[in-house]
Structure 1
């Protein structure tokens, strides 16, 4: 059986702190060590443990080598698992139910990985998932956490990610040959639908809303079949669809924010743990 040297979690903790804080001094404040102690730790990590250069130093700026970038990804995962082990074994009170609301948009793209990792860490917690539009979720008072899409300048809560809306079509569909161009969009309470319509009207492009649904899966099925064009956040576009742009005669669309809302009337450790998993999941 092949054996490998172990990596002290404290070395990884300091390594990640350097990445997050941008230098040895501030990292030392985070891990409660002097700058010289941090420097010694990193020398040990480079020379005795991984035996690879991890840092590129240009004056006061610290960046990472290719090996350092690889280690940083693993270090974050190792430290998170380390934390989850202790949370699971030392906090038996982590049982109960947490209610999360999300538009259908994010269920298939983000939730499976998030809920899988959360279940591994907290197997006794029951998660209720409620799928509704962002506007409906903003009206609810009974949810512990809500993931909603917000327009620029109207963000509330914790921003999970920001990205642009894009046009997408199925293979073989040529929007230039369709007049008026058929659209597949969410129902009328979706502001991104109005964005798409406003952009097309401003560009003088003829169109018609041919298909509507509250379900992203239904919209994508229509688009994949080559029946219409849609406008969705870029991360939601599946590999079987083609992203179109101005070179195809379609106007550029704005960006939107995906935000996480907490219920201030019902804070709990369970809710915060799931919120952390959600934030990480949307960064991936």
Structure 2
């Protein structure tokens, strides 16, 4: 029996140049052929010809629906877009890994632990694939403590409006959060779960509750966010949290239950200029991108 390798099977298919995929993605991201051409440094007619060959000669599938100057992806185009983005990212990771042997070392980053659970896993997974020889040392503490440290290359912190520093990662609405089994009306004094008596979240909660005339008590206190969430999940207390960190097993308490709106919080990235390097710059870009997803 003749052995047929995977390479033999792949040779039956035409190849797609990564530059063609880059142009295809640019058309989608820029919203048209002309602006995509400016981005990839090609004329509009050259871009059109690339896509025509991709549709007719390579894939034999229609990728775009054209309506005057507007273009929309067909279902086949949507499928290709997902693959194209993955291929281009892998292509970039290959060159970053093999052409940049200096990308080896240790980076110390700091972040409050609630962001670790929501954002960092995806960011670090993508980063480690591209730069497997870089070691990450994570330090999880409050924003106040992290800002006082000088041994961290990159630091993620939360800041209230009007006191922003560093680079913006995202802005998030603060909300009141409780378990689905928590009944507000059963408590004469609302039990609060807090991470610190003087933290920004606690001060906002106190101010809002006192302004609305609602009685409350500081029922649970822990610097460990997982412990606070466990208490809230059990239906024992209410906490305030960034909206993007609210999990499916929790519910947001609104004005219909007597809870006033809270300010928004901005997440910021601080870079330590004394530890600046290609490694920290690269990880910083991954963090900036990851918090927007």
What's the TM-score, normalizing by structure 1?
0.88
Question: For residues 195 and 71 of structure 1, what CA distance do their matches in structure 2 show?
Answer: 47
Deviates more, 1:166-175 or 1:223-232: 166-175
The alpha carbon displacement at 1:9 in A equals 1.5
Counterpart-to-counterpart distance in 2, 1:282 and 1:8: 31
Q: Which residue of 98, 106, 128 corresponds with 2:107? A: 98
Q: After TM superposition, list the pairs within 5 Å mapping 1:48-63 onto structure 2.
A: 48-55=57-64, 60=69
Over aligned residue pairs, what C-alpha RMSD do you find?
2.4
Choose which of 221, 239, 248 in structure 1 pairs with 2:257: 248
Shift of the 66–162 alpha-carbon distance from structure 1 to 2, 3 Å rule, reads farther
Structure 1 residues 199 and 132, CA gap change in structure 2 (3 angstroms) = same
Task: Write the deviation string for residues 91-147 of structure 1: whole angstroms up to 9, x where unpaired.
Answer: 111111111110111112222222222222212111111111112222222211111
1:280–1:265 distance in 2 versus 1, CA, 3 Å: same
Distance in 1 between residues matched to 2:172 and 2:91, nearest whole Å:
31
Report the secondary structure of 2:259's partner residue.
coil
Structure 2 partner of 1:148: 157
Q: Is 1:192 paired with 2:198? A: no
Note the 1:1-284 alignment, pairs <5 A: 6-55=15-64, 60=69, 64=73, 68-284=77-293
* Cα contact 1:135–1:189 (8 A) shared by 2: no
Unaligned runs of 5+ in 1: none
Distance (Å, rounded) in 1 between the aligned partners of 2:105 and 2:244: 32
Distance 2:165 2:67 in 1: 38
SS of residue matched to 1:107 = helix
Question: Structure 1 residue 247: deviation in Å?
Answer: 2.3
TM-score between both structures, scaled by the size of structure 2: 0.86
Superposition deviation, residue 6 in structure 1: 4.2
Question: Residue 232 of structure 1 aligns to a residue in which SS?
Answer: strand
Distance 1:98 1:179, change over 3 A: same
Q: For residues 6-42 of structure 1, what are the alpha-carbon distances to aligned partners after superposition, in whole Å with 9 as ceiling and x for unaligned?
A: 4322122123333444443332232121122122223
Contact 1:176–1:249 (8 Å) recurs in 2? no
Question: Deviation of residue 52 (structure 1)?
Answer: 5.0
Change (3 A) 1:177 1:122: same
User: SS in structure 2 opposite 1:128?
Assistant: strand
**Which 5+ residue runs of structure 2 have no aligned equivalent?**
1-5
Q: How many residues were matched structurally?
A: 284
- Could you tell me how far 1:55 is from its partner in structure 2? 4.4
